[in-house]
Amino acid sequence: MIAHATTVDAAPDAVWAALQHATTWEGIAGIRGVHDMTHDGDLLEGFEFHIEVAGMRFDGTARVSKRSVGEAMTLDLDSKDLDARLAVRVKAEAAVSKLVVGVELTAKSMVVKMAFPAVQKAVQNGLPREVEAFATRLGQ
């Protein structure tokens, strides 16, 4: 798993609320073009998106597969070429929140299997910058 932790200048409940908006996820692990969001009440259930990583584009679907309300959620990202699991944990830490984001990738198509080291490297190199930008947006 590729992971990065940071702090967010916001209370955990505010961070959790922001995570229930699919557009909040744009920029993490290459997620772009979020649309067709679904919710169950106030809780995010899923959305459609595309990923741009290592010069490749993958159209896919995100679905929440695990959730501990207010604390953690896991999104399963599915595309025809690449699957990923995106896990987020939010913890209270004094007046701020600690945010931990992890990504697991699985290559499905032969093309991605051949380029998988480059795809993993791109996610590994980009994740800290993406999570820090994510935290900045959540803290505003």
Domain residue ranges of the chain, discontinuous segments joined by +: 2-138
Greatest alpha-carbon span in the chain: 47
Per-residue pLDDT band at 55 (split at 50, 70, 90) = confident
Distance CA 122, CA 126 (A): 6
Cα atoms in the 13 Å half-sphere on the side-chain side of 28: 31
- 15-50 pLDDT, tens digit per residue, is 999 999 988 898 888 888 999 999 999 999 999 999
Q: Which residue has the higher pLDDT, 94 or 62?
A: 62
- 83-133 pLDDT, tens digit per residue, is 899 999 999 887 789 999 999 999 998 888 888 888 888 888 989 999 999
Are residues 41 and 132 in contact, defined by beta-carbon separation less than 8 angstroms?
no
**56: β partners:** 53
Fold observed for domain 2-138: Alpha-D-Glucose-1,6-Bisphosphate; Chain A, domain 4 (3.30.530)
